[in-house]
Amino acid sequence: MTVGIVGAGQLGRMLALAGYPLGLDFLCLDPARDAPAGRVAPLLHGDFTDRRLLTRLGRQCEVVTFDWENVPVSSLRAITRAHRARISPPIAALAAGQDRVAEKRLFERLGVPTTRWRAVSSRAQLTRAIDALGLPGVLKTRRFGYDGKGQAVLRVPADAERAWRALGTVPLLYEEWVPFDCEVSIIGARSTTGELAIYPLCGNVHGAGVLRLTCAPFGPARWQRLAARYLTRLLRHFRYTGILTVEFFVRDGRLIANEMAPRVHNSGHWTIEGAATSQFENHLRAILGLPLGATRALGHSAMINLIGQMPALRDALAVEGVHLHDYGKRSRPGRKVGHLTVVEPTARARDARARRLLADLAVGVRIP
Amino acid sequence: MTVGIVGAGQLGRMLALAGYPLGLDFLCLDPARDAPAGRVAPLLHGDFTDRRLLTRLGRQCEVVTFDWENVPVSSLRAITRAHRARISPPIAALAAGQDRVAEKRLFERLGVPTTRWRAVSSRAQLTRAIDALGLPGVLKTRRFGYDGKGQAVLRVPADAERAWRALGTVPLLYEEWVPFDCEVSIIGARSTTGELAIYPLCGNVHGAGVLRLTCAPFGPARWQRLAARYLTRLLRHFRYTGILTVEFFVRDGRLIANEMAPRVHNSGHWTIEGAATSQFENHLRAILGLPLGATRALGHSAMINLIGQMPALRDALAVEGVHLHDYGKRSRPGRKVGHLTVVEPTARARDARARRLLADLAVGVRIP
């Protein structure tokens, strides 16, 4: 059985590595010849809109998934025209996640608390949005945002003009700034059979818009229940198949949805060593209609992203219990090139380990 | 960094899957176009004696290892003539393991207790060997034995003639039959830096010469100490690099070495989920001179080999906590096509799980 992956980044790579033990084969499509998943699985090298390659993917695979939320919806539709591969997760979920306005409306419709927002497509609308929601706020592109890209924080009225000049060429949305206590995410799978499996809540710390640290399990049981309830609404709404992730701000014990990602998620990388079944394996099980694996945590995990360049392999492996994941990418400032995970028997031991590792790696973030 | 693997079986496959997260690349050589490792890593398809391919492997890789103990020593020597790749584990250890007589002599020289034996290269020598060691006994080919192949058990005098006719065309060895209480193996790594790391003892059950079940950790601390001492002598003798495995019979609390394998071993597959660092990762760390990972057990593991054909994926994954490993091989009677592992908090829970799984799979072996 061959699973197609549109996009051959680190998520595709870890999907393939999780799928091989299940006896699955993989075929990726990516415009980068040296894409991370292309080093562990066959790669169709070409543009995401290359009809010939999309048709090949659709013909050679039983099911096609994607490892990037900005894959053109039209590309996935083109794959279905090969009349073989199913697309999973559903295209509708991808489409909703690609448009921040559609996403916000969906959250509201399903009773998932989210930040207040206004669509902005003119300078005048931006002024009205700031009047309505106040400052500070965040101006975001409706589409193609990830890892803090396509965003500008507005703190004082004068910031509006600068932000408009930077982003105003495309449809935007203005959101209130939530002075959050912490950020969490919930990751869960729904299988083609309707079976659900939801992971323990993740506590996330970002730096410069990029995830730096995830600790899991995280937070009180009440947060877990709330997050799982909201996630379940979304999974059911889409008759979703695969892993879906929702990120929340936590403010005074309330969960406020920030965004969703219709895919395995960086904040779930700890599940490779830290959960009974990894998010990658459960994504594959879910899209293939196989029984889902247990999502329980095996201990207390911390996952630290390695940004820009990998530490020396020798140094990283010298630290007992560190599980290293090198994505095989070239170094580049701000780029996610790998991550490491530690699993400890207690949250206290985990936090102590994470603190030392963050210091060693000179990552300036604090344990949540 | 590219690691070459001579042989692209399931051991090579699991080596590659363990090495990708470390950022390593792999290149395999195997005469089978559909070899298991060739589905997860680039494959040079050709004979183990193909000089052109061996040279390519030697030029493209920093280090070359092997996943099969019957790789011709001359092939590994040919690789070194490319003047780039090191061979690891050392060729001398492979050579010793390929010749049962050399292996027995080495055990004796290093004070590792082993079965009594006689070299047999004529019918008359066989008679003298039986006179000396008695019956029952086992007649084995000196070379190219694995999984019970090239062996005949002699129970009564009349068996000698039959066994001689079946095997007598090649050099042989006659060994006393050890009525063992159980079978164990010890797996350990020595790094190019001289660092040692030894896993908890494995309790093994064979059926028709093929490993069916491994439970680990296994046996009293005294066995662990004895086995580790013997293994360490062998590791130091060869200035070994990589994983080395020694199998023992246990009889009245004594460990009697049966054979060694200069490679990752089937009885160590439980370490993928059941140990802090898998044997595959530690083999790679050892041959690359990287710090070795912790070998401690994370619980009580049972590994069951899947022989002949894989169970239905759906059924296997429906059992909570089962980690499935499908080698991507075609079904064939007696063939190792995969394995599954469970890790439980206690030995008792592990044994209960294993008993149920063995019954479900209709594997007729008993928990040791």
User: What is the torsional sign of CA B83, B85, B86, B88?
Assistant: negative
Task: State the number of CA atoms in the 13 A half-sphere of B163 facing the CB.
Answer: 29
Which contiguous run of DSSP H or E holds residue B282? helix B279-287
The residue assigned the tokens 């908890």 is B200
Confidence (pLDDT) at B366: 82
Tokens read off for B127: 């008679």
> What's the CA gap between A167 and B70, in Å, rounded?
64
CATH of the domain at B315: 3.30.470.20
Q: Do A317 and B13 touch (CB under 8 A)?
A: no
What's the half-sphere exposure (Cβ side, CA atoms, 13 Å) at B290?
A: 23
Based on the fold, state whether residues A202 and A315 are members of the same structural domain: yes
- 3-class SS shares of chain B: helix, strand, coil, % to 5: 35, 30, 35
**Both A198 and A153 in a single domain?**
no
Give me the residue from A41, A298, A313 closest to B22, CB to CB. Answer: A313
Judgement on whether residues B164 and B299 belong to the same structural domain of the protein: no
pLDDT at A241 over 70: yes
| Mutation for A interface: B303, B313, B314, B315, most A CBs within 10 A | B313
Mean pLDDT score, A42-68: 96
pLDDT-derived band at A1, boundaries 50, 70, 90: very high
Query: Distance between CA A321 and CA B105 in Å, rounded?
Result: 39
Q: State the DSSP string of A130-160.
A: HHHH-SSEEEEESSS--TTTTEEEE-STTHH
Q: How far apart are the first and last CA of chain A?
A: 42
- Whether the Cβ atoms of residue B246 and residue B230 lie closer than 8 Å to each other: yes
Distance from CA of B280 to the nearest CA of A (A): 14
Residue B42 with chain A: CB contacts under 8 Å? none
**B285 and A317: CB-CB below 8 Å?**
yes
Q: Please provide residue A4's backbone torsions phi and psi, each rounded to the nearest 5 degrees.
A: -90, 145
Q: Counting Cβ atoms within 10 Å, is residue B343 exposed (0-12), middle (13-18) or buried (19+)?
A: buried
Find out whether B285 and B189 touch, Cβ atoms under 8 Å.
yes
Is residue B267 located within the same domain as residue B354? yes
Give the per-residue pLDDT at A146. 61
What is residue A24's predicted lDDT score, i.e. its pLDDT? 97
* Residue A105 is assigned to a structural domain of this protein: no
**Bond before B90 cis per omega within 30 degrees:** no
* Residue B108 CB partners (closer than 8 Å, separation 6+): B114
- A324 and B294: CB-CB below 8 Å? no
CATH number at residue B163: 3.30.1490.20
Same domain, A208 and A299: yes
For residues B92 and B191, what is the distance between their CA atoms, to the nearest angstrom?
16
- Considering only CA atoms, which of A73, A29, A67 is closest in space to residue A47? A29
| CA A259/CA A247 separation, integer angstroms | 5
Report the alpha-carbon angle A271-A274-A277, nearest 5.
Answer: 55
Among residues B34, B32, B33, B41, the alpha carbon closest in space to that of B14 is found at B41
**pLDDT exceeds 80 at position A249:** yes
* A148, pLDDT greater than 70: no
Kindly state whether residue B207 falls inside one of the protein's structural domains: yes
pLDDT bracket for residue A145 (50, 70, 90): low
What is the pTM (predicted TM-score) of this model?
0.95
A285 touches B: beta carbon within 8 Å = yes
Question: Which one-letter amino acid corresponds to residue A198?
Answer: I
pLDDT exceeds 90 at position A149: no
Identify whether residues B341 and B244 lie together within a single domain: yes
Q: What is the mean pLDDT of chain A?
A: 95
Is residue B84 within 8 angstroms of chain A, CB to CB?
A: no
The rounded mean pLDDT for chain B is 95
Residue A319, CB-side half-sphere exposure with 13 Å CA sphere: 19
Domain with residue B73: its CATH number is 3.40.50.20
* B297 vs A: CB within 8 A: no
Q: Does the pLDDT value for residue A224 go beyond 70?
A: yes
In sequence order, what are the beta bridge partners of B203?
Answer: B184, B215
- Strand A242-251 and strand A254-261: the pairing is antiparallel
Q: Are residues A285 and A141 in the same domain?
A: no
In a domain, B108, yes or no: no
Q: Is A325 on the interface with B (CB under 8 A)?
A: yes
pLDDT band at B290 (very low <50, low <70, confident <90, very high): very high
Are the beta carbons of B5 and B67 closer than 8 angstroms? yes
Q: Give the separation between CA A216 and CA A200, rounded to whole angstroms.
A: 7
Tokens of B281: 């990762």
In angstroms, rounded to a whole number, what is the distance separating the alpha carbons of residues A91 and A238? 9
DSSP code at position B22: G
Question: Band of the pLDDT at A368, cuts 50, 70, 90?
Answer: confident
pLDDT at A364 over 80: no
Mean pLDDT of the A116-124 span: 95
Note the maximum CA span of chain B: 58
Joined tokens for residue A332 = 């580049």
Give the model's pLDDT for residue A147.
61
Can you tell me the mean pLDDT for A250-255?
96
**From A24-38, A158-172, A236-250, the region with the lowest mean pLDDT:** A158-172
The 10s digit of each residue's pLDDT in A196-209 is: 999 999 999 999 88
Domain boundary among B129, B160, B176: B176
pLDDT at position A208 is 84
Q: A161 lies in a domain?
A: yes
Where residue B239 falls among pLDDT bands split at 50, 70, 90?
Answer: very high
pLDDT surpasses 90 at B82: no
When scoring B317, B337, B340 by the number of chain A Cβ atoms within 10 A, the one with the most, hence best to mutate, is B317
Give me the domain span that covers residue A128.
116-176
Question: Which of B157, B176, B195 lies at the terminal end of a domain, its last residue?
Answer: B176
Residue B111 lies in a domain: no
Which DSSP letter does residue B40 get? T
B220 and B321 housed in the same domain:
yes
Quickly state the pLDDT bin for B148 (edges 50, 70, 90): low
Residue A166 belongs to a domain = yes
In this structure, how many other beta carbons lie within 10 angstroms of the beta carbon of residue A223? 20
Tens of pLDDT, residues B307-332: 999 999 999 999 989 999 999 999 99
pLDDT for the residue A365: 80
**pLDDT at position A144, please?**
77
Asked if A25 lies within 8 A of B293 by C-beta distance, the reply is: no
Considering the domain architecture, whether residues B208 and B294 belong to the same structural domain is answered as yes
Q: Count A/B contacts: CB-CB distance under 8 Å.
A: 76
Q: B285 CB near a chain A CB, below 8 Å?
A: yes
Residues B192, B331 contacting (CB under 8 angstroms): no
**Interval B158-191: pLDDT, tens:** 999 999 999 988 999 999 999 999 999 999 999 9
Do B249 and B294 lie in one domain? The reply is yes
Collapse the DSSP code of B308 into the 3-class scheme (helix H, G, I; strand E, B; otherwise coil) and give the result.
Answer: coil
Task: Indicate whether this complex's ipTM tops 0.90.
Answer: yes
Q: Are residues B141 and B204 in the same domain?
A: no
CA atoms of B366 and B351, how far apart (whole Å)? 10
Question: Measuring CA to CA, how many Å separate A149 from each of A130, A139, A295, A364, B310?
Answer: 21, 11, 31, 20, 46
Distance CA B120, CA B58 (A): 38
Q: Say if A338 is an interface residue toward chain B (CB within 8 Å).
A: yes
Residue carrying structure tokens 């099969």 = B68
Residue B268 vs residues A91, A301, A314, B243, B256: alpha-carbon distances, Å: 43, 25, 24, 10, 19
pLDDT tens figures, B223-237: 999 999 999 999 999
CA distance B79 to chain A (A): 24
8 Å CB contact of B294 and A40: no
Residue B347 lies in a domain: yes
Q: For chain A, percent helix, then strand, then coil, each to nearest 5?
A: 35, 30, 35
Closest to A182 (Cα-Cα) out of A201, A202, A199, A204:
A204
Q: Where does a domain end: A145, A176, A207? A: A176
Name every chain A residue with its beta carbon within 8 A of the beta carbon of B338. Answer: 23
CA of A62, closest CA in chain B: separation in Å? 16
Segment B334-366, tens digit of pLDDT:
999 999 999 999 999 999 999 999 998 887 788
B299 part of contact set with chain A, CB < 8 Å: no
Angle at B18 between CA B248 and CA B225, to 5 degrees: 30
pLDDT over threshold 80, residue B299: yes
Residue A304: predicted pLDDT: 97
Strand duo A43-45 + A151-154: pairing: unpaired
Does A336 lie at the interface with B, CB-CB under 8 angstroms?
no
Q: Give the separation between CA A218 and CA A368, rounded to whole angstroms.
A: 9
| Chain position carrying tokens 């040296």 | A34
- B143 and B171, same domain (yes or no): yes
SS3 call for B251: strand
Return the pLDDT at B317. 94
Q: Is residue B98 part of a domain?
A: no
Q: What is the pLDDT of residues B267-282, one digit of tens each?
A: 999 999 999 999 999 9
Q: Provide the domain count of chain A.
A: 3
Kindly state the tokens that stand for B89. 């584990």
